């Protein structure tokens, strides 16, 4: 298994519903970041949470981090069709923290 695994692999919801995506990792981290990728485009940085933080908010996004379980979740509230994209978590390892390691992503589809 790789550092940073998202769950579920795919998620389909109706507009207005909340979407929750999870990320698990294996080694101690310095921080964890979430990115969004629209089809065929580059990734866009959404939010960063440091290892000493438990929760962060940014607009309709809420990220939690549980370092004891080595897991994070991304919640998108009141989803919109425009939220349809792939979402990736990325970790900066504590020991070899020169670059981010990305997971395989969750494909979110928000149906109008």
Partner 1 sequence: NAGVMQNPRHLVRRRGQEARLRCSPMKGHSHVYWYRQLPEEGLKFMVYLQKENIIDESGMPKERFSAEFPKEGPSILRIQQVVRGDSAAYFCASSPWGANYGYTFGSGTRLTVV
- Kindly list the residues in this chain that would bind partner 1 in the complex (CB under 8 A): 2, 4, 30-31, 33, 35, 41-45, 48, 88, 92, 97-105
Cβ–Cβ under 8 Å, residues 83 and 111:
no
Nearest distance in Å: CB 16, partner 1: 28
Distance CA 59, CA 20 (A): 15
Minimum distance from CB of 40 to partner 1 (Å)?
A: 8
How many C-beta atoms lie closer than 10 Å to residue 63's C-beta?
23
Our CB check for partner 1 shows the closer of 76 and 88 to be: 88
């Amino acid at each position: 298994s790789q550092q940073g695994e998202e769950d579920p692999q795919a998620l389909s919801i109706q507009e207005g519903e909340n979407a929750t995506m999870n990320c698990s990792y294996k080694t101690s981290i310095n921080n964890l970041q979430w990115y969004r990728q629209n089809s065929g485009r580059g990734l866009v940085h959404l939010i960063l949470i440091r290892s000493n933080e438990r929760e962060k908010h940014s607009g309709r996004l809420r990220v939690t981090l549980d370092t004891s379980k080595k897991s994070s979740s991304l919640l998108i509230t009141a989803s919109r069709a425009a939220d349809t994209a792939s979402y990736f978590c990325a970790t900066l390892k504590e020991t070899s923290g020169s670059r981010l390691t990305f997971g395989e992503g969750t494909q979110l589809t928000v149906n109008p």
